[in-house]
Amino acid sequence: EGVGSIYGGEYDAINVEGVGKLKGDATVNKVTVDGMFKSKGKLTAEEVVIDGMARVFRNMKVKKLEIDGMLKVRHANVNADIIRCDGFMSCTNEVSADEITIDGICSITKLYGDRITVHNHRDNFDFGSKGQFLKYFSFLGKLYLGRKISTKYSLADVVECTRLDASRLRSKIVRADRVTLTDHCCIGKLYCNREMQIDRSCRIGEVINEKQTNSSLPEQRNNKSNNQRKQWGMERMEKTTIKKILDLYKDGKINADEAELMLSHAVSPDPGAGDNKAYDISWPEDGKLRIVAFIGRKLLKKGDELARSIEVKYEGPALDVECHGNLTCGDITGNADAGGSMHCGNVGGNVDCGGSFSCGDISGNVECGGSMKCQEVHGSIDAGGGVHIMKN
């Protein structure tokens, strides 16, 4: 009870009934949150139970995760054996587990698992005056959580699993062997090679069955399908250009581990294969500065500890800037996004960084994992550390 901080180490149990903050890496048998908890260190645990509110800014690895309250994860991944959520969960990176059951409200960038069950039961999410709270929380979701939320639908940009059972799910891409969709699910692209059960209330933009497509289309269209298989088929990855691989990774169609494996083939072609275009990485002329980090052949994820040790300095104007490491630059016309710390001039859009942040004037919103220092902010502020605004 009360207010306290934990500076890392090994513990049998951590119980938070008031306000608690984890400031270092910790290994725990069981974590119970009944109050408010903020984690700025890596958390490894056998079991985590959240009945209150938890904000996590570093990777969390647990065997069993139970959420009856609220869990907000920013610039970090959640890895577990079992996840059960009857409350609210948001994550701007990846959530993965062998078994995932979500009966509350969720907004997740990438959801990976063996068996995933998602049902939007908003009645499970009870905080006093529920209707007023959910309306207010939905309005502030993007500003506070870094992701859009909905009280009517579960949101997951990318879902990949062996079996999916979902109702009221909205997703850009779903890839599964067996799929059951009911109650107004809305899916952009559905990749399924085995069993599908979809009721009439659901809306599917495109259903792709690669096995049937490759065997039934005429030769001319089948060649296009074969090109798709080159991107996904590991036996022919050496002919996939770096640009295609990075596009797949950027669009959320493959994760970082898959991209790393594909890139290892792309940059190490068979000497007898003849000419190759593995280094053709042209981008559209959209004015966006893209910075991708590698250690050898390893493609680093945004916010990765290794990426945080990389310093990038850019001199000159840019429309939008996205960097996986630490960034130093001048004025940015649009949005600024960095996995580590950021130091820049004026920003005409929003700022999202995993570490500390300092700049001039900000026209949009600020979300950072550490402290921030700036001249003026015209939008909202969500910082993991102190806030210092120096108005003229």
Q: Is the pLDDT of residue 215 over 60?
A: no
Find the mean pLDDT for residues 79-86.
94
Residues making up the chain, counted from first to last:
392
Residue 226's pLDDT band (cuts 50, 70, 90): very low
- Asked if the model's pLDDT at residue 92 lies above 60, the reply is yes
Query: Is the predicted pLDDT of residue 208 greater than 60, yes or no?
Result: yes
Q: What is the pLDDT of residue 369?
A: 78
Per-residue pLDDT tens over the stretch 145-161: 667 777 788 899 999 99
Q: Which two tokens stand for residue 379?
A: 């939008």
pLDDT at 29 over 80: yes
263 has a pLDDT exceeding 50:
yes
- Mean pLDDT of the 360-380 span: 85
- Please report, for the chain, the start and end positions of each structural domain, with discontinuous segments joined by +: 59-208, 218-273, 288-389
Query: Given this model, what pLDDT does residue 344 score?
Result: 85
Pairing status of strand 351-353 against strand 361-362: unpaired
Higher per-residue confidence, 320 vs 81: 81
Helix (H) / strand (E) containing 78: strand 78-85
Between 286 and 385, name the one with better pLDDT. Answer: 385
Say what the pLDDT of residue 280 is: 39
Q: What is the pLDDT of residue 201?
A: 87
How far from chain centre, in Å, is Cα 87? 19
Per-residue pLDDT reduced to its tens digit, 44-79: 999 999 999 999 999 999 999 999 999 999 889 999
HEC string of 26-76? Answer: EEEEEEEECCEEEECCCEEEEEEEECCEEEECCCEEEEEEEECCEEEECCC
pLDDT tens column, 121-135: 655 444 444 444 555
